[in-house]
Amino acid sequence: MSLSAAFYRGLDFLSTFLSKKSGIKFIINQYREQIRLSYLATQTIAPRMETKDIVYIALFAGIFAALAVIPPLLFVPPVPITAQSLGPMLAGSILGAKRAALAALLFIAIMATGLPIMAGGHGGIGVIMGPSGGFILGFPVSAYMIGLLFEINWHRLNLAWAFIYILLGGIMVLYIFGLLWISILFDVQLYKAFLSSCIFIPGDMIKATIAATTAMVIKRTYPLM
């Protein structure tokens, strides 16, 4: 099976799985050419990969997109907590550093073409240039850091350590990217940007708990995934 065939096999599986509730299969088919071009762009980064790796990368890029359709949780009204930042947490803790980063890059490349796969049904370069752009661009680095921490400490990994590693890579790294982006692009003092973002931390802690628990279940079920 070619890499392209493996990519579409994973993408078609995901879109079929999600089609009944979210309509993602229709959206994927509508933007299929843009997705193909985005995939080819990621191939220049990693031209030689096994079929299994390509399928995992495609599936998790789709999971990033699928998280956008989960309704926001008003954990602290009126601040909505979206599920999308759960993507790099899950990818990094399950796929490992390299595949997780590539899944995040593929998701960003597809989203940048205009596919409305961000929370709220948004997509395109304009989303990246907005206030959340730093967090989005931090997805690959966050996923890579979580994956690296999991790989290095695989022998002693348990729920507590998994939670700590996801906090470090999935929250601290993302906030560094996101807050610096807001501070530089919108001329906001860094501490003010941080204070305004503190309201989202409880929701991020919940997502880190979900990702750590999921990762440990996967580790016990498929230890060599």
Per-residue pLDDT of the chain (225 residues; tens, 9 = 90+): 444 455 555 555 555 545 544 444 555 555 555 555 555 555 554 555 677 888 899 889 989 989 988 877 655 544 567 889 999 999 999 999 999 999 999 999 989 988 888 887 888 898 888 888 999 999 999 999 999 999 999 888 999 999 999 999 999 999 999 999 999 988 889 988 898 888 888 889 999 999 999 999 988 886 545
DSSP for 81-127, please give it: E-STTHHHHHHHHHH-HHHHHHHHHHHHHHHHTT---BTTTB-SHHH
Cβ-contact 108, 117 below 8 angstroms: no
Other CB atoms within 10 Å distance of the CB of residue 217: 12
**pLDDT given for residue 21 in this prediction:** 46
Choose among 117, 109, 114, 106: nearest CA to 55.
Answer: 106
CA geometry: angle 212, 115, 74, nearest 5 deg = 45
Write down all domains in the chain, each with its CATH number in brackets: 3-221 (1.10.1760.20)
Find the DSSP H helices in the chain: 3-22, 24-30, 32-43, 51-66, 86-95, 97-112, 125-128, 133-137, 139-152, 159-166, 173-185, 190-197, 201-221
Output DSSP code: residue 23: -
* pLDDT digits 0-9 by tens, 195-204: 888 888 888 9
pLDDT digits (tens, 9 = 90+) for 88-121: 999 999 999 999 999 999 999 989 988 888 887 8
User: How much is the pTM?
Assistant: 0.78
